[in-house]
Amino acid sequence: MGKSITEKIILSHSDKKELKRGELIKARIDFAFANDITGPLAINVFERIGSKEVFDKNKVTLIADHFTPNKDIKSAEQTKVLKEFSREQNLNYYELGQVGIEHALLPEKGLVLPGYLIIGADSHTPTSGALGALSIGVGSTDLGVAMATGEVWLKVPESMKFLYKGKLNKWVGGKDLVLYTISKIGVDGANYRVMEFAGETIKNLSIDNRFTMCNMAIEAGAKSGIIEADEITEEYLKGRAEKEYNIFKSDLDAEYEQVIEINVADIEPQVAFPHLPENCKGISEVKDILIDQSVIGSCTNGRIEDMRIAAEILKNNKVNKRVRLIIIPATQQIYLEALEEGLLKIFIESGAIVSPPTCGPCLGGHMGILAKGERAISTTNRNFVGRMGHPESEIYLASPAIAAASAITGKISSPEEVI
């Protein structure tokens, strides 16, 4: 029996000759990271077990991205812990002028690569699976121990394969594909499984859209999301990858717990209603839902392609007076590209607010908190109760195209309504 890409990566990082699904194994990691919320906890574990040095200073990175720029004294103290530990251990550390949202910054810097086994103390770590890596979110305890040992305990997961065929409809992208998929299997439909995205549609999908899909695998309960590396991946890695990497591909006779085929011609732009990502409707079914805020950004949809789509819709249009439109480029490099391409000018002239890179509003941290009774359309990844502010606020998830159009009309809208 053949092996899936996930099984091949795990096997290559263990001392096993064969794997059994569900088996608990110890695996060597290629890269580990944490942020300003999870990092201090991991550092505390690292020190409590008596460790003096990280296993490899080039394979551990700390990124202050969640509450930065620091919103209060507590967040400043969290950042200080990361900074001092990074100096002591001589680690790669990113803050403010060099920072980006971790799941966008790490691929951009070439720190995560195909064939890698990556762990991060953040649930959206699977984002890097878009490069053909196995990228898994862990708790701060596991991260702290892994920083010392270079190893992690894993239960070998089952894999589910999603085969997408057909040509995408206008304004449909990776966000719509993954929201549609989650709506079909549910938020627990892939519990502790790896979602392998494949098929002709995926082969033609841009790298930015692939990141979006793998990012939201966790919203179906998945252990990770993964896409085989190909020419599009390697083009993205040119000038970024300074280390060697291995490209693994699933065998034709690999065994999957389930194979699901999806015809993308059936998919229109999606909107996830409160309070779960699975509560999706096509935009044609959404009627007269007024909004108070629109957020375009996050580790899900803050990349340059997302900025370009937003600018295309906002150009020569004005943000509705009842709406706050907050746009957050995911990294400083993306911010600079948006500046050089004139996108920031379009945003500001439309009436949008442009923020420095931060997770901020996505987790209800800062830079866009909702009051009681307010509604937001957001390109972020979660719409749980109280996720973005008051527990009696509402969050609707959608693509940058819908978020931009909605900011103009003042209600959840299709781009077709403004273009």
* Distance from C-alpha of 366 to C-alpha of 369, rounded to nearest angstrom: 6
Q: Where are the alpha helices (DSSP H) in 193-269?
A: 200-203, 207-215, 231-237
Per run of 10 residues, the mean pLDDT along the chain (length 419 residues) is 93 92 94 97 96 96 93 94 96 90 96 98 97 97 97 96 96 98 96 97 97 97 97 96 94 95 96 95 95 97 98 97 97 97 98 94 89 97 91 97 98 94
- Which CATH number does the domain 5-262 belong to among 3.30.70.20, 3.40.50.300, 3.30.499.10, 3.40.50.1580? 3.30.499.10
Residue 166: left if φ>0, alpha if ψ -120 to 50, beta else—which one?
Answer: left
Q: Residue 213 is which amino acid?
A: M
The pLDDT, as a whole number, for residue 350 is 98
Q: What is the domain partition of the chain in residue ranges?
A: 5-262, 270-417
* Distance from C-alpha of 165 to C-alpha of 157, rounded to nearest angstrom: 26
Taking residue 1's Cβ as centre, other Cβ atoms within 10 Å add up to: 6
DSSP, res 13: T
Q: Where are the alpha helices (DSSP H) in 131-230?
A: 140-149, 174-185, 200-203, 207-215
Kindly write down the DSSP assignment for every residue of 72-106, as one continuous string.
SHHHHHHHHHHHHHHHHHT-EEE-GGG-B-HHHHH
The pLDDT, as a whole number, for residue 281 is 96
The pLDDT, as a whole number, for residue 172 is 97
What is the CATH code for 270-417? Answer: 3.30.499.10
- Radius of gyration for the alpha carbons in the chain, expressed in angstroms and rounded: 20
Is there a contact between 229 and 196 (Cβ–Cβ < 8 Å)? Answer: no
* Distance from C-alpha of 137 to C-alpha of 123, rounded to nearest angstrom: 5
pLDDT digits (tens, 9 = 90+) for 371-397: 999 999 999 999 998 999 999 999 999
Please provide residue 107's backbone torsions phi and psi, each rounded to the nearest 5 degrees. -65, -40
Residue 258: left if φ>0, alpha if ψ -120 to 50, beta else—which one?
Answer: beta
The pLDDT, as a whole number, for residue 318 is 97
């490099």: which residue's tokens? 333
Query: 32 pairs with which residues across the strands?
Result: 60, 119
* Distance from C-alpha of 363 to C-alpha of 75, rounded to nearest angstrom: 14
Domain 5-262 and domain 270-417, same fold? Reply is: yes
pLDDT digits (tens, 9 = 90+) for 26-60: 999 999 999 999 999 999 999 999 999 999 999 99
